[in-house]
Amino acid sequence: MPQPLTQADIDRQMAELHAAGGGDHPSRDYAPYRSTLLRHPRQPLVALKDPEAAELAGPVFGVTDVTALDSDLTRQHLGEPLGERITVTGRVLDRDGHPVRGQLVEIWQANSSGRYLHQRDDHPAPLDPNFSGVGRCLTDSEGRYTFTTIKPGAYPWRNHVNAWRPAHIHFSVFGAAFTQRLVTQMYFPGDPLFAYDPILQSVTDEPARQRLICAYDHELSKPEWSLGYRWDIVLDGPAATWMEEGR
């Protein structure tokens, strides 16, 4: 069995990657993020003989399938979830800054104690019966999405000794077709765990890394209700948001 990575191992390997001139998209077998060695594609991509068949077999999403309740993760159950209520909003843009309208945006996250509602999550933190941690919405005419949710907690993930993931929300963005799905993560400003997280640190270009961190926006905060955060997603170009490739 492979031995757990120590923080010294992570620091050394990150230094080697920086010295090699790694860009904003990390290698698919980025060693400090240990599971990439097992999960990244090793064989050439397979071209589909009938691309339309893949579209017909995939999920179909329509405007009537998405409701207002889907984007408010605090109202999906009879009771109130525990934790700090937040509003997260932003725009989905193309490389030229134009809004991407009618885009399906999905999120999933841990609860305020840092635990996912998932059978494989055995982190000894409490589950919240009033919080499932999943939501979705469609972008409006300005490319804007909005979610009301609970700020997630940090959690251990056994990647290396004393490994903890910073608070984050997973985002999935669909293009014009199901096969164009992109997945990324949004982080919160000022998290002390940033320096110890090999997933975030694998994005070695500092401006690209900063684009993964949302900004607190007091104008979005609602009195006696929620704190507001703003985070735009750019799908392509020099200012693109980093997406998880081959994960």
Chain-centroid distance of CA 86 in Å reads: 16
Catalytic residue among 91, 115, 165, 211: 165
187 is catalytic: no
Active-site annotation holds for 136? no
Active site residue 165: yes
Assess contact for 130 and 79: CB atoms under 8 A.
yes
Report the alpha-carbon distance of residue 140 to residue 91 in Å, rounded. Answer: 9
Sign of the dihedral defined by the CA atoms of residues 45, 46, 50, 55, in that order: negative
Catalytic site residue from 30, 33, 116, 196: 116
Identify the active-site residue in 115, 136, 168, 211. Answer: 168
Does 229 participate in catalysis according to the annotation? no
Q: How far apart are CA 5 and CA 60, in angstroms?
A: 42
How many angstroms separate the CA atoms of 134 and 128, rounded? 13
Pairing between strand 182-187 and 164-165?
A: unpaired
Concerning whether 33 is annotated as a catalytic residue, the answer is: no
For residue 134, with 0-12 CB atoms within 10 Å meaning exposed, 13-18 middle and 19 or more buried, which class applies?
middle
C-alpha closest to that of 199 among 88, 39, 42, 35: 35
Active site members: 116, 155, 165, 168, 170
